[in-house]
Structure 1
Amino acid sequence: MSTPKAFLKDHKAAGRRPLNRAVGWSLAAGVLLIAQAWLLADVLASVALFGASLDEVVRPLVALPLLMLARAGALWLADLEALAAARRIKGGMRAELGRRLAGLGPVRLGRPPSAEFGLGLVEGIEALGPYYAGYLPGMALAAVLPLAIIGVVLPIDWISALVLAVTAPLIPLAMILIGKGTERLNQAQWAAMARLGARFLESLQGLTTLKLFAVGRREAALVARLSDDYRKTTMKVLRVAFLSSLALEFLASVSIAVVAVFIGFRLLWGEIDLARGLFVLLLAPEFYLPLRRLGTHYHARLDAVAAAERLLPLFEAPEPEAPPAVPAGARDPRGAHVVFEDAVVDFGDGRRGLDGLSLKVPPGTTLALVGPSGAGKSTAMNLLLGFLAPDGGRVLIDGAPAGDRSHLAWVPQSPYLIRGSLRDNLRLGAPQADDAALLAALEAASAAHLVDLLPGGLDAPLAEHGRDLSGGEMRRVALARALVRQPRLLLLDEPTAGLDAASEQAISAALKARRGTATVILIAHRPQTLRHTLAADDAVAVLEAGRLAALTTAAALDDPAGPLAALFSQAGAA
């Protein structure tokens, strides 16, 4: 496993060119600064000692503002390049992380995104910006510019050059010593912020339940306590940050004062002329400036290391292999051919989602998966969706390993509708579908009336999660969205659960109409789903402990001695 520091270094390559340009412009600004200091010292010495007239110093006086403007422009370009590098690196990381998360799927992630998870994705990547835009260019500049200044000062005043060389390491040394304790505090701050964000989101999501049980005040007190914990950890970090800034400023000020004292005495003794002395004095603060700025940016490095530690497991999660494409000639026009061959899914700790499931679903047929809770129904569906890979055996769709989602559609129990128009939601899985295809899918899902019912028709705006639709309407829109894709394999999880009789009949009729044009596999928990959705000869697979306990048809519902009657009587749902 990589380390956070190696992780940050590896991703620096994406912004290497703008970072190099940023350092180059900063060095150019440093060279201009040296020239500016020399001209200014020469002008002051000429006027103060030799009483030079305006005509004698007009050229350097004209050159000075030009140098200042050029230096300001170089610094501005350096900042632009540094920000461009950070933006490019962050954009690349977000794109890579998006690909990884899409490939992993919700099951491999282990849990749905929470506030803590979102904090790592949003704030975590954003926290890397100051590191790449500030710390890395500052570190390069701190390593080069002081050496350049020493190289200029050395032939002019070797004593001042020696003082600069001896005192310069004290600043990064103090920075490192103070930073050791700060890194631990930064980790604690990130953990406190994650706890606060997660709890606050959970409180908002469960606000109705909290009010019903009259525990709103208690929850508010808990959030307040977590907020206070975050405040305390943040104040500790700021306290150390201010202490380190004070220490760095003190060391730099003392070092400049030492240089000034040496130059003052040597001017008094006549060992150095005024122009050279002023030149060295003007350069001394600029010599320590990159080191002091590096100390300021050092906290950005600590934040980046803490953020990288949370991002690292996501970036190092193994990416699933892309499933091979199925040749068009191998596809049956009636639907997909699905095969489970001794499929095993091992969750560890002795728990198995599937334990050698073998099952065949011919093209164009309908199959219902039934069984008690934990029997493996959802696990089997996740294998077909490509959200899981079998730990043993095989799961094949049209002869190829499952995972290609281009020819399947999925309708869960609680479908998710995005915030956008009805057209946007229907075209989510088929962006090129025209209005005729959308209307045909709505008609097939018995949801065509929504076009007339909603103001704006297909352009009617829908709230996030479809809050402005009823449960039955949401389920019909989700089914229509699946049908727009014209899937060869249609997967559903209890498609009629919790619906009124009219909605249940409409969805059941839509599913029956898919016979012969798609293979349909659905999870059913209630006998009513089987009665309303399946034909008498449609297959029903009874799962138990991850294995196929029985394979029968929907007609077995009327057999009091059959496996379905026994199953639903045990569940109390008959």
Structure 2
Amino acid sequence: MRPLDPRLIRRIGPARRYILVTAGLGFLTALLILVQALLIARLLAPVLSPAPLSDDGLRWWGWLVAEPARELAVGLAWLGAVVAARTAVAWLQERLAHRAGVRVISEMREMVVAHVAGLGPRWNASGRTADVVTLVTRGLDDLLPYFVRYLPQLALAVTVTPVMIVVVLGLDWLSAVIVVATLPLVPLFMVLVGLLTRERSARHLEAMQRLGTRTLDLIEGIPTLKALGRERGPAERVRRLGDAQRKATMGSLRIAFLSGMVLELLTTLAVAIVAVTMGFRLIHGDIGVETALAVLVLAPEVYLPVRNVGTHFHASADGLAAADAAFALVDDADPAGARRSLGAAPALTGATVRVSSLDVLTPDGARLAPARLTFEARPGKVTALRGPNGEGKSTALLAITGLLRPDGGTVAVGGVDVLTDDAAVELNGWLAQVAWVPQRPDLGVEGRTLSLGMRQRVALSRAFDSGRPLVLLDEPTAHLDRGARAEVIDRIRALADRGATVVVATHEDEVLAAADAVVDVVGAAVASEEAS
């Protein structure tokens, strides 16, 4: 985690205008704080001074707040106006920062979801999707304090602190030396506390993702567990995961409170050094009351923005950890082999799809499944892919859809390799011509109340009625009874008779008998030097 992550700043996009306005409001806040401090010094100096004031204790900064402000009516009126202006600027600054944060978080959610959607069904079946759900919902929500609190305070730190140091230097050089000498201690302790915060935030995100994964798995499996009478079994496990997340959250809060306490104590001691030094000099008459009051009011304002930067950075550390995880996900996982679309997808109506020497590595990299697969799928014909489980029938269909990039071979239409080159055709245009029904179709919310066989029939019916020229069916009769199987086979034949290109992965003898061509799909072990 970095205090100002360039990857996060690049994602600001349309919110950049809000961030720039927020920085400008930070500089305006610096001027208002300065005027407020000088007004307080003007008002209190006549009351605390043992003798009538003859000199202007604000020296050449006195032009900002004229000497008539020492009068109670004039000074209080000015002070009320400055306080009201500071309140309005702070409200506007926080409002704009909130808008910027919401926009950036929304963009990051879209980026992660779009990227994961492009990784294809094989990645989605890896079990990491629940972590992604937790990341884009609760995880990135924790990033809002980074924009609402941290970035505005960072803007104040680079505007208010330098301005205040210059003003203190103009009032009393010795106090300015003390402030400049003690100020670096604040970021030093921020770094020390931040090293501990980083590990705690990572553990918090991990606990939250683990709980989210278990909970989503439980919700998905509730119908099965209820059918087996085990729906109450996982309750204790979920309770333990909840306790782990609670402990991780409390640990993050403890670190945030600890950082605030450490920085508060440090800045209090630094201001105390200035105050004690000022007190001795007042006793010896080395400094005026008005000057001393101005320095004492301004000294805490020098440390406050830097201290708040550390406090809010640690408070937003969970969100930064989530952002880091989002960038790592996008950088590590390469959707569809980093396809670059350089041309429109060819028309599939009446065209033959030629698959040549298709190779796809298994996720562990130990086998090719399929290996050297070659066949032609012609319009008006049913091509059946046959082979044992695990040899790559479903994977071959995924490669043809373009949702999975093969490790070797080509998928060509009209002699042009359309999916496997770096210069592949536009994927959406290709998918718009393909109807694909996997083994376990996902119909969304409406399919939750349907049995697996009913979901299969609904998905097949949609594919048959889609009118798309290329139809890919993965075990279309696996979950159906005998009557439904015969109906599906008849519809597959009718679809091919209407001119569609149909490719079916199946074990069923009835489907194989109805096919015009049968292709055997086999896998192969990868040579040790190639696997390495």
TM-score (norm 2): 0.83
Residues 337 and 133 of structure 1, relative CA distance in 2, 3 Å threshold? farther
Code of the aligned partner of 2:502:
V
1:352 alignment counterpart: 368
Code of the aligned partner of 1:96:
M
Residue 487, structure 1, aligned to residue 468, structure 2: yes
1:525 alignment counterpart: 507
1:405 alignment counterpart: 431
Q: Give, in whole Å, the separation in 1 of the partners of 2:403 and 2:524.
A: 17
Q: Give, in whole Å, the separation in 1 of the partners of 2:302 and 2:69.
A: 31
TM-superposition CA deviations, 1:362-404 (whole Å, max 9, x none): 1222112121111221111011111222211211245442352
How far apart are residue 313 of structure 1 and its match? 3.2
Count, aligned residues:
494
2:443 alignment counterpart: 417
Q: Give, in whole Å, the separation in 2 of the partners of 1:224 and 1:191.
A: 16
Q: Give, in whole Å, the separation in 2 of the partners of 1:407 and 1:212.
A: 40
Tell me if structure 2 keeps the 8 A contact 1:128–1:307: yes
1:374 to 381, 385, 390: 390
How far apart are residue 485 of structure 1 and its match? 4.1
Code of the aligned partner of 2:501:
T
Tell me if structure 2 keeps the 8 A contact 1:412–1:494: yes
2:339 to 318, 321, 326: 321
Residues 257 and 68 of structure 1, relative CA distance in 2, 3 Å threshold? same
Output the aligned Cα RMSD.
Answer: 3.2
Tell me if structure 1 keeps the 8 A contact 2:263–2:307: yes
Residue 151, structure 1, aligned to residue 132, structure 2: no
How far apart are residue 59 of structure 1 and its match? 3.4
Tell me if structure 1 keeps the 8 A contact 2:105–2:140: yes
Code of the aligned partner of 2:73:
V
SS of 1:544's equivalent in the other structure is: coil
Tell me if structure 2 keeps the 8 A contact 1:119–1:194: yes
Tell me if structure 2 keeps the 8 A contact 1:41–1:275: yes
Tell me if structure 1 keeps the 8 A contact 2:367–2:524: no
Q: Give, in whole Å, the separation in 1 of the partners of 2:95 and 2:69.
A: 38
How far apart are residue 351 of structure 1 and its match? 0.9
Tell me if structure 2 keeps the 8 A contact 1:337–1:397: yes
How far apart are residue 493 of structure 1 and its match? 1.5
Residues 54 and 408 of structure 1, relative CA distance in 2, 3 Å threshold? closer
Equivalent residue runs for 1:365-514 within 5 Å: 365-398=381-414, 399-402=416-419, 403=427, 404-418=430-444, 464-469=445-450, 471=452, 473-483=454-464, 485-514=466-495
Equivalent residue runs for 1:36-55 within 5 Å: 36-46=36-46
Tell me if structure 1 keeps the 8 A contact 2:39–2:69: no
With 365-374 and 471-480 compared, the bigger mean Cα shift is at 471-480
With 265-274 and 35-44 compared, the bigger mean Cα shift is at 265-274
With 138-147 and 380-389 compared, the bigger mean Cα shift is at 138-147
How far apart are residue 260 of structure 1 and its match? 2.4
2:521 to 511, 535, 543: 543
2:137 alignment counterpart: 122
How far apart are residue 5 of structure 1 and its match? 4.8
With 511-520 and 227-236 compared, the bigger mean Cα shift is at 227-236
Code of the aligned partner of 1:157:
D
Code of the aligned partner of 2:339:
E
Q: Give, in whole Å, the separation in 2 of the partners of 1:154 and 1:315.
A: 49
TM-superposition CA deviations, 1:167-201 (whole Å, max 9, x none): 22222211211221221222222222222222232
Q: Give, in whole Å, the separation in 2 of the partners of 1:158 and 1:4.
A: 33
2:299 alignment counterpart: 284
Residue 184, structure 1, aligned to residue 162, structure 2: no
Q: Give, in whole Å, the separation in 1 of the partners of 2:228 and 2:452.
A: 25
How far apart are residue 255 of structure 1 and its match? 2.1
Code of the aligned partner of 2:360:
V
How far apart are residue 125 of structure 1 and its match? 2.7
Residues 193 and 54 of structure 1, relative CA distance in 2, 3 Å threshold? closer
Tell me if structure 1 keeps the 8 A contact 2:359–2:409: yes
**Runs of 5+ in structure 2 lacking a partner?**
54-66, 420-426, 526-532
1:200 alignment counterpart: 215
Q: Give, in whole Å, the separation in 2 of the partners of 1:147 and 1:289.
A: 12
SS of 1:354's equivalent in the other structure is: coil
Tell me if structure 2 keeps the 8 A contact 1:4–1:312: no
Q: Give, in whole Å, the separation in 2 of the partners of 1:296 and 1:180.
A: 14
Percent identical: 37
Larger RCO, structures 1/2 (Cα 8 Å, 6+ apart): 2
Code of the aligned partner of 1:227:
G
Residues 182 and 54 of structure 1, relative CA distance in 2, 3 Å threshold? closer
Tell me if structure 1 keeps the 8 A contact 2:29–2:89: yes
Residues 327 and 290 of structure 1, relative CA distance in 2, 3 Å threshold? closer
Tell me if structure 2 keeps the 8 A contact 1:131–1:304: yes
Tell me if structure 2 keeps the 8 A contact 1:124–1:311: no
1:22 alignment counterpart: 22
Code of the aligned partner of 2:478:
A
Q: Give, in whole Å, the separation in 2 of the partners of 1:153 and 1:92.
A: 43
Tell me if structure 2 keeps the 8 A contact 1:47–1:53: no
**Runs of 5+ in structure 1 lacking a partner?**
419-463, 548-574
Q: Give, in whole Å, the separation in 1 of the partners of 2:450 and 2:217.
A: 24
Residues 94 and 541 of structure 1, relative CA distance in 2, 3 Å threshold? same
Tell me if structure 2 keeps the 8 A contact 1:7–1:308: no
